Chains A and B, each alone.
Chain A
């Protein structure tokens, strides 16, 4: 999420592709598109990874279009019900939708950037309670399953909607899920163990 040089998440988020329209001819670079062309012609549209897009856009070789994960279709869906959008489906399994959005925000300026920031913030806040709820739910199920040891597995049931939501979590939300689950599990374990045995 951060602009940290050593952050693996940051590097992974940069790996997302973004569509650029070149403004000038660039010789001998046709392989970027994976095509057979030898040169990149002006006005041709090519998907380039985010880390390359930076330099192309800043040095005014190319323009970019807002990539599909942040298209107005997705924004409308998020506005309607943020929890039913599968973020992981937009950026690939374990992808970093928020991280990607943040980088995009850096490329935009003023009003579009502010809009994107609002979308990201609103989505995160709308989805967080559900993430935490499910994490707590799972922590208690697992604790219960562990204590009844006999029939491990099979006791975990959840309906379609929650499964779909969980699969739709993006990388950042997964991290939250793990943190919340771990915290809840640890506290629960402490509440349930009797100290008598340890003390005497």
Chain B
């Protein structure tokens, strides 16, 4: 393969971020713009102060030029995340969160922290949730098997982090487990 070794095992976090930025987010535009066609689709028209749905990459771009406010998604607030953190720490399974929450939360907190109420608290809650989930995925390591491993509600970034060695160690286990004898199969 022509890819350099670090890129072969899984995609990079920044690539995941790029993918996540295709998702739509609501903005309150501060400039007017006609409906415009992009490769991924047509967005607009922007008519202040009416809300409008655009991809995150476009929202961050406008936000950095101070041409819009971003309306944070309904899961990106203190109440919701607090609730999820409580579930995460009290229940054995992963709690349900948007598949690409880590990427979206980071991008929005980076560029639009002034549109999010209490961003510091949100940030620390996200950090706590991440740590709680990480310790759970570590427990998953001990349950690893040569053929399957089920960790429902795991999110894109977390899957990506553990993918290389989970895949490899399952490969090793497949080699170590004895294939059933032909005679037994029949």
Contacts and interface: CB of A to CB of B under 8 A. Distances in A.
Interface of A: 1-2, 98, 101-102, 105, 110, 113-114, 117, 120-121, 124-125, 128-129, 132-133, 135-136, 172, 175-176, 179-180, 182-184, 186-187, 189-191, 194-196, 199-200
A178 B88 CA distance: 29
Contact of A129 (B17, B141, B175, B178): B141
Interface stretch (B34-42, B69-77, B103-111): B103-111
Given A124-B176, A179-B9, A195-B106, 19 more contacts: A98-B176, A117-B177, A117-B178, A121-B146, A124-B169, A124-B173, A132-B138, A133-B138, A135-B165, A136-B138, A182-B6, A182-B9, A183-B160, A183-B161, A183-B165, A187-B160, A190-B12, A191-B106, A199-B111
B90 interface: no
Contacts of A187: 13, 157, 160-161
Interface of B: 6, 9-10, 12-14, 17, 60, 64, 106-107, 110-111, 130, 138, 141-142, 144, 146, 157, 160-165, 168-169, 171-173, 175-178, 181
A105 B107 contact: no
Majority-rule SS of A interface residues: helix
30 contacts: A1-B171, A98-B175, A98-B176, A110-B181, A113-B178, A121-B177, A124-B176, A128-B169, A132-B141, A133-B138, A172-B172, A176-B168, A176-B172, A179-B164, A182-B9, A182-B164, A183-B162, A183-B163, A184-B161, A186-B6, A186-B12, A186-B161, A187-B160, A190-B12, A190-B13, A191-B106, A195-B107, A196-B110, A196-B111, A199-B111
B56 to A, nearest CB: 12
B176 A129 contact: no
A189 B146 CA distance: 31
A172 B60 CA distance: 44
A194 B110 contact: yes
Majority-rule SS of B interface residues: helix
Contacts of A124: 169, 172-173, 176
A129 B142 contact: yes
B170 to A, nearest CB: 11
Nearest to A2: B175
Question: Which 9 pairs, one residue from A and one from B, show the smallest C-beta to C-beta distance?
Answer: A190-B13, A179-B165, A117-B178, A179-B164, A120-B176, A187-B161, A180-B165, A195-B110, A129-B141
A78 to B, nearest CB: 13
A176 B171 CA distance: 11
A184 B12 CA distance: 11
A190 B14 contact: yes
